[in-house]
Each structure stands twice: as C-alpha cells, then as structure tokens.
Amino acid sequence: MAAESLLRQEGAPIRVLLLEPNDVGGVVGTVHRDGWLVEQSADNFLAARPEGLGLVNRLGLADELIPVNEPARRALVYSAGRTLPVPAGFRLMAPALAKGILESDILSPAGKARLLDEANVAPAIGGGDESLESFAVRRLGREAFDRLVQPLVAGIWTADPARLSMTAACPEFLDMERVHGSLIRGEEDRLRRLGDSHQGIGARYGQFVTLASGMGTLPARLMEWLTAAGMERRRMRAESIERLADGRWQVVASERGLPATLIAADGVVVAVPAPAAAGVLRGVDETLAADLAGIEYAGSVVVVVGFSRDDVAHPLDAAGLVVPRIEGRGILAVSFSSSKFPGRAPEGCVLLRVFVGGALDPARALLDDEKIVALVEAELSDMLGVRGKPRLVQIARWPSAMPQYHLGHCQRLSRITERLNALPGLGLAGAAYEGVGIPQVIASGQAAAQRVGAAVQGMNRRTDWRVIKRSGG
C-alpha cells in the first residue's frame, strides 16, 4: 500500500522499487484446489472502515465483493459440550440487550446478574493503561470474561488478555466507559445512532465482506497495478539501512547466490514485522530499533479441512465457533467457511478452518502435521459431530505472525513516532503498530507513504532510487 500511495502522489516524478524476496501478500493468500477455495489467513475484512473498500474500488474489484451469508451472521460459543449462540446484542464485551443475556444458557444466573449490573459499576479512576482481562472482569465479572469475552478476543488477536492493552486494542470500549460510564449505555447509544439496520444478533457480521475469488486476489491485483504504473520489483531481502551524509538512504540488499547490492534512495518505507524492522534499522537508530524489537509476536496454525456434508452432524448455521480457554480444549476456534461465503467448497461438501496455538497455547502450534490433524479431527468429532476422514487437508503455519499489543504499546508507539520524526524520508508500515485488520494495515501503508513522499518532496527531490554497486562485483 505504501508503493501504491507513492505512485499516486502528485508533484515530482516518483520511481518506486519494491524489495520482496517472497510471494506478494505476506500472510494473505488463497489456494484453489479441486473446487475448494482455501484462505491461508484472513478470509474477510471490515467494510465499515474506508481503506479496504477504497483499495478494492481503485483496483476494479468492486464486482467481486460479497458479504457474509445472512444465515451465518452470528457466532457460537462452545459451552459444556454444547454450541450456543453469543447472546443477542453482545459485541465483544459490550452488552446492549438484557433480553439476550437473560435468554442465553452460556452464563449461570449469578453470571448474568453480575453482567447486567455493569451499568452500576463505577468507571476507573486514573488514566493508566489497563489489560483487557482486568477491564472486562472489572466491568462484566469473571464468568462473563471467561465464557464470552476471552474466547471472542482469542478469535481476533490470539493474545493473552492479561497482557493485551485496552488502550491499544479496544479504545472504543474505553471511550464508552469514559463518556457513558457504562458499556451497556455506550452500546445502546451506538445502536441508536446507527439505526434499526444495525440492530440484532447478526449486525456485526453484516459489516464484513470478502472477494468471491478469495482474499489473495487483492494483493495479486495490487501487484499488477503497481507494475503497470511503473514500479520495479526485485526478489531481494533488505539486510540493513544506513543514512547517507546528504540525507538520502542506502539499503544493503541480498539476493540468493549473488553479491550484496547497495541501493541509494530518497525515501524508504520499511514494511516488515517489527523484529525484522529492528534488525534492518539498528545501524540508523539503536533506540528506535530497541522499541521495535520489544513488540512481541504470537504464532498459530490454521488447519483447513473439507468434509462431505453428510459427515457433519452440526447444522453449521453460524460464521463459526469460539472455544473458551476454561473448557480445556485443544483448539481456539473454528470458522465455518462454506457457511459464511459461497463458492468455498464443492457441491455437497463443507469447509472448516480450525485455529490452533496462540499466545496462551504455543506448544500445540509446534505439533507436527500428523499430530495436529489428528487433534483437529478429534476436536471436530467431539464438538460438531464430524465423522470419517476429511476430503481436504491444508495446513498454514504462521509462527510469530501476530503482533501482540501488550500493556504500554501506545507509549511505545509514541516513542517510535518521536524517533521517526527525526528521520525524514523513513516510514514504517504493517500490522505491528495501529491495527491488525486489513483496512488498518492499508491505512498504515498509506500514512507511511505520505510521510516519506512529503519529506523527500520538501527537500526538492524526485523520490528516486538507483543501484550504487554490487559488493564484490
């Protein structure tokens, strides 16, 4: 996204070079196999933010957009051997409908009473960062956290909620407490402002969309557009960056089997995971690199399995199933892909994506393929009544792929921004900073490109690059 934004900037001519040794798209990718459509990681994005839809429209992909199927616009929670719907009106940690809570079997009578008493819980005093677990337990009670909030949070961040920063991950709910004194009152006000079309159990899922041909189409089409617009790509890895005496930048890049290449550029956007960015920038600013290296990551495994519909007893009448940690199971969640979107499985079959690992269960993500598939088959048999062997098995391993917004993350970002402000022409982009969703990552790339473009044009430069030499060449 940084490359696209640079190429779209008006003013001086801009030449863009992309250094990327791997396939484009990062973790976003789609596999088409014998009538199955398998998403390797993200399978949709939130349409409520403009960045994702904006990119789709610019790339001419608007006709590909499809929403979550109406019958699947809800989530289930595994609870004591049953799959029960998330209470109507409950959004991550904000309850809006007392009736939905009272009719749910997920919580005990005492747990329901404690949750519905949330409006009487006094707001926190002081402005310090608070963990998501502390915030949710304080406002909703321990049982509501354990049985509702924790599994829903794990399905988004695969994080340890005792370390996850509310300020960084869920500022909207902090604002509800600050402005309304209550999550219940805050959510009621939000729904009133949105109107009747956003009421009900499926409201949130109605805001998610995907591409009919799969999310991998988005980076693939973007790469086509960038190439047509004049961007050059080289299958190289950036090893280090230095700032030259004239304020330009020198990138040391490596390519398999060849001497290192030195590339001079007016501006550089570093769009790699934070630990890799730390390694690349250590020679530029050790303090900046130390803060980048301090952003931790968690890993997970996505095990995608396809079955004959007759082999699955569960109706699969939801977007998916989340599993509370207190249930002691071996998986985090199951996405019912073929229920959510059409064209994901051959006729008469269903496609399930099962998530294993995360920050609280890292050992299971290290199981070999045979053991992890056996684990998934056993859990699906127990939870969803799946019989027989899958017709399709596809495993996507993502070690250290999900940034963790731990306590103090916003303060860390402030320090990073302060260091960047002293380095004109340098930008950072990616999921490590201000959001892990696809629209947020697009916004990150756009902001980095605008920063770099403004800096180099302010120095009356062309936003250019050139190869200086090959080391040893």
66 and 342 in contact (C-beta within 8 Å)?
yes
pLDDT (tens digit per residue) in 356-375:
999 999 999 999 999 999 99
Number of alpha helices (DSSP H) and beta strands (DSSP E) in the chain = 18, 22
Name the residue with tokens 């002691």: 328
pTM: 0.92
| Confidence (pLDDT) at 271 | 96
Q: Domain check: are 105 and 185 in the same one? A: yes
Q: Domain check: are 103 and 248 in the same one? A: no
Q: Is residue 425 part of a domain?
A: yes
Q: Is residue 30 part of a domain?
A: no
Sort 335 into a burial class: Cβ within 10 Å, 0-12 / 13-18 / 19+: buried
**Cα gap 78→317, rounded to integer Å:** 14
Q: Domain check: are 116 and 246 in the same one? A: no
The answer, yes or no, to whether residue 202 has pLDDT greater than 50, is no
| Confidence (pLDDT) at 220 | 96
| Confidence (pLDDT) at 468 | 75
Q: Is residue 307 part of a domain?
A: no
Q: Domain check: are 244 and 196 in the same one? A: no
**Cα gap 291→156, rounded to integer Å:** 24
Mean pLDDT along residues 140-159: 95
Q: What is the mean pLDDT of the chain?
A: 93
Residue 283 sits in a domain whose CATH number is 3.50.50.60
Name the residue with tokens 């301090």: 294
Radius of gyration, alpha carbons of the chain: 24
Q: Is residue 377 part of a domain?
A: no
261 and 467 in contact (C-beta within 8 Å)?
yes
pLDDT (tens digit per residue) in 173-195:
999 999 999 999 999 999 888 87
**Domains held by the chain: number:** 2
Of the candidates 180, 200, 220, which is a domain's last residue?
Answer: 200
Q: How far apart are the first and last CA of the chain?
A: 33
pLDDT (tens digit per residue) in 267-319:
999 999 999 999 999 999 999 999 999 999 999 999 999 999 999 999 999 99
Name the residue with tokens 């062997």: 389
User: Per the structure block, which two tokens stand in for 350?
Assistant: 């269903």
Q: Is residue 158 part of a domain?
A: yes
Q: Is residue 116 part of a domain?
A: yes
Backbone CA torsion sign across 292, 298, 304, 310: negative
Q: Domain check: are 123 and 167 in the same one? A: yes
Q: Domain check: are 192 and 244 in the same one? A: no
Residue 129 sits in a domain whose CATH number is 1.10.3110.10
User: Per the structure block, which two tokens stand in for 471?
Assistant: 């080391």
State what percent of residues in the chain have pLDDT above 90. 84
Of the candidates 200, 227, 250, which is a domain's last residue?
Answer: 200
Q: Domain check: are 115 and 249 in the same one? A: no
Q: Domain check: are 287 and 420 in the same one? A: yes
Q: Is residue 374 part of a domain?
A: no
Q: Domain check: are 193 and 242 in the same one? A: no
3-state DSSP call for residue 80?
Answer: coil
User: Per the structure block, which two tokens stand in for 435?
Assistant: 């959001």
Name the residue with tokens 């003013």: 11
Q: Is residue 79 part of a domain?
A: no
Q: Domain check: are 142 and 279 in the same one? A: no
Of the candidates 200, 217, 246, which is a domain's last residue?
Answer: 200
User: Per the structure block, which two tokens stand in for 383?
Assistant: 């939870």
Backbone CA torsion sign across 180, 184, 185, 187: positive
User: Per the structure block, which two tokens stand in for 412?
Assistant: 């860390």
Q: Domain check: are 283 and 421 in the same one? A: yes
Name the residue with tokens 């809570």: 101
CA angle 123, 124, 125 (to 5 degrees): 115
Name the residue with tokens 């509800």: 176
What is the residue range of 247's domain?
A: 2-21+235-295+406-468
Q: Domain check: are 267 and 162 in the same one? A: no
